[in-house]
Chain A
Amino acid sequence: MSGITIPVQTDKPKLAVYKFSSCDGCQLTLLNLEDHLLDIAGAVEISFFLEARRRVLPPPYDIGLIEGSVSTPEEEKRVHQVRRDCKYLIAIGACATSGGIQSLRNWANVKEYADLVYPSPEYLKTLETSTPVAAHVFIDFELRGCPINGGQLLEVISALLAGRKPNIPSYSVCMECKRRGLPCVLVSKGEPCLGPITQAGCGALCPGCSRACYGCFGPMDQPNIGALGGKLTGELGKTNRDMKRMLRSFNGYLDPFKPASDEYERLEQQEK
C-alpha cells in the first residue's frame, strides 16, 4: 500500500451540507433522523458535512443542502462557489429561505446594532443585510421552517434520489390543524394565530399546544394577510405595531410578509 493513494470509489450520489449564518438547527434535523441516519449514510456519500465528519471529498457534489442566510462579505462570496460545486442546491430552513431572524437588521442600522452588542464594532465584518440564498444564486428547491421538519427533509432527499419532484404542500397550517381535529385557537380562544397565512409543514404544533401559530414556516402560497390582519386588529384588538412585530420574526424578510409588515409600520407611524 505504501506510496499508493486509493481514491474513494463510489457510485453513490455525493451529498454536501453547508452552514451560513444560522443556529445549526436545520443541519441537526438531519442528524436527528436517528432511525434513517445510517440508511441515508448508505444511500448517499456524505462528502462534505463539517458538523458531522472530518473527511472532505472534493466537489462536485450531486446534492447540496445549504443552511443559513448570507450576512457577511465572506458568505456573499462563498455562496457562489457552493452553487458551482453542486448539481442540485437546496436551501433548508428559514435563514436560507428568508434571511432568518437576523434579517431584522435589514430594517435597522447595522452600525447601531454592532455598537449595542460589541465593544469594538470596527472589528466586525458584516453586511448591512441578512438575505436568503436565492437572493444571490439560483436555488433548485427551498424547504421552509424554523427549523425544517425532518420528514419533509427526508422527502426532499428521497425525491431527488428518485428523480421526482418533492411533495411539499404550500397550503396553510389550518389544513394540518383541521386534520388533527384541533380546536381553532383563533376562533375559539381569540388568540392572534398566524396559521391561516402560514405554510404547513410543522404539523400544527403550536395550536396543538393551545397557542397561536407564530409563522415559523413562513407565508403560504398566496396568503390573505389583509383579511387576517383585519380580524386581529379589529375584534382581537391588536395594534398595527403588534401586526408588524408578528410578521417580522423568523421569516419576516420574505414576501409577502415583508411588504405587509412595512404597511403596518406605515399605519403605525400614521397613528403617531
Chain B
Amino acid sequence: MNDSNSKKNSGSTRTIRVGALARVEGEGALHLVMNGDQVEKVHLEIYEPPRFYEAFLRGRDFKEVPDITARICGICPVAYQMGSCHALEKAMGVFDDVTPEIRELRDLLYCGEWIESHVLHMFMLHLPDFLGYESAISMAEDHGETVKQALRIKKLGNTLMDVVAGRSIHPVNVCVGGFYKAPDPKAMAGLLPEIEACLDLMCELTLFLAEHITYPELVRDYEFVCLNPEEGYPMNLGGLISNKGLNVSQEEYGKAIEEQHVEHSTALQSIIKGRGEYLVGPLARLNLKSENLHPRALQILPKVCTLLGSQLPWRNNFMSLPARGLEVIHALARSADIIRNYTLPAVSRVPITPRAGRGAHGTEAPRGVCWHEYETDHEGGITFARIIPPTSQNQVTIESDLRDLAKLLVDVTDEEAAMRCEHLIRNYDPCISCSVHFLKFTRDWEGGRAGAVSQAGVSDGD
C-alpha cells in the first residue's frame, strides 16, 4: 500500500515501513530499520488477530475437526482438512485401512486446491510485481489474454474441488476416514476435455514465465524441507526430508523442529532444532523431488531450465513463480490420470470406532508443509491440538531473505525499496490468515521510541 509508507530519517538511520502488505492472503506488515548500509532490524509483522483454534478444538468431537480446521484458511482449506484427517486416522488406529481409492480421491481434491491457489497467487498476486503493475486488474488492461487464461485455469481448479467435495472454499464432503460420498464418475469424466485444454495453456504460460520474466538475483543457501513419499510428488504421504540431512517420520517431525520466540518478534517461529531456519513450499518440493513430477511436467522441465538459464536446484526464491507453474502442470496432468482411472469405489470411507489415541501428520499445502497433531479421549473427543502452518515455518527465512535484500537497496528510494521487499515477501505466497500461531507485536525501537510499531495505526489512520 503505497500511501502508508513513511520516511523518517534520524541521522543515518532509515526506517522503511510498509503499512499494510497488499496482495497477500491475510494481513501483515514489514518494518525495516537500516543504519547506513547495515541492516539493523527486519520485522515481518503479522497482525492477524488470534483466533485460538488449538484451544477451542479441545472438547470437540474428532468428526468435527476437518470442518473446523478448514476455516483456518479460506485459500487452502483442503490442506487443513488433509492434515486433520490423516492425523486423526492415526489417532483412531485406521490410518493403514484407508483404501488406495480414497487416497487417489484425496490427491485429486488436493490437486484442485494446488491449481486454484497457485494460479491465484501466480497471476493475480505475484506476476503483477514482475511486470510492474499494482494489481492484476491493471495488468489485465495490457495483458488481458494472459489474465483470462489464468482465470480459466483457476476456475477449473475450483470446479475440480466442487465435483469431488461439494465446494472449493471449505469443502463439505471430506471426513476422517475418507469422503461422505464418492463423487459421480460421469461428472468427473466430464472435466477431462477442460483439463486437457488447461494443461496445454498452462504449459504455454509456464514457458512464457521462463522466457519473458526477469528474476531478481537473490541466491541463498536454503535448507529445503518437504515430504518424501515412496512414490509420486510430495502431497499427502511420506516422512520429511531436507537437503541438509533431515530425514524423519511424521511423528518425529514435531520434535525435530521447535517453535521459538526470537528477540525481535513475538511470533512463534519454527526452526530445525540445533540448526535453524528452513524453507517449505514449491521451491523445496521441486528441488528435492523433481524426478517425481508427472511426466508431462518432467517433459517441459529441461526447456524451462534452459530458458531461465538455471538448472535445478534453484536457490533463488523469486523462481518460485515458474516452480509453481511446473506444479500446476503436474497437478493438472495428475488430475487427468486419476479421473481416467476412476470408477465408483466400493467404500467412500473406512469405519471408525472412537478410541483414545494420538496422531501426527503433515501434508503439502500449496505453500508448504502444514503439520497437525491431536490427542483424543476414549469417546473421540479432542484433548490436545497442535497445528504448524507453512507460513510460520517460513517466517525466519523470509526475514533472512529481507535482510540480504535490504543490503542491495541502500541506494534506492524508500518507495522503491518497499516495493521490492513486498515483492520478495510475495515469493512465499504468505498465507498469514493461518493465525493459529501468529501474533502481532508491539515493541520500542530506535532508542526507545515508544509504540512505533502501531498495529492499529496501519488501517485506521492514526
Contacts and interface: CB of A to CB of B under 8 A. Distances in A.
A52 B71 contact: no
Contact of A38 (B25, B140, B261): B140
A56 B2 contact: yes
B3 A249 contact: no
A54 B2 contact: yes
B23 A117 contact: no
A14 to B, nearest CB: 14
Given A53-B134, A102-B51, A124-B439, A38 B433 contact: no
Nearest to B168: A32
A39 to B, nearest CB: 12
B75 interface: yes
Interface residues of A, number: 68
Interface stretch (A74-82, A131-139, A228-236): A74-82
A233 B154 CA distance: 44
B23 A114 contact: no
A196 interface: no
Given A23-B72, A78-B460, A210-B180, A34 B27 contact: no
A164 B154 CA distance: 32
B166 A209 contact: yes
Interface in B411-427: 422
Interface in B53-81: 53-56, 58, 60-61, 64, 67-68, 71-75, 77
Contact of A29 (B25, B68, B135, B169): B169
A23 B169 CA distance: 10
A55 B460 contact: no
B138 interface: yes
A113 B261 CA distance: 19
Interface string B21-42: 1111111000000000000000
Interface string A90-133: 00000000001110110010101110111110011110001000
A28 B169 contact: yes
A119 B439 CA distance: 11
Contacts of A211: 172-173, 175, 180-181
B420 to A, nearest CB: 13
B124 interface: yes
Contacts of A210: 180-181
B135 A53 contact: yes
B433 A23 contact: yes
Contacts of A35: 151, 155
A183 to B, nearest CB: 12
User: When A and B form their complex, which 5 residue pairs have the shortest distance between CB atoms, in order from nearest?
Assistant: A25-B74, A53-B135, A74-B456, A113-B55, A54-B22
25 contacts: A24-B26, A24-B74, A28-B25, A28-B74, A31-B124, A34-B155, A35-B151, A51-B24, A52-B125, A52-B135, A53-B23, A54-B1, A73-B456, A74-B455, A102-B51, A105-B56, A108-B56, A114-B55, A117-B55, A117-B437, A118-B268, A126-B49, A146-B170, A211-B173, A211-B175
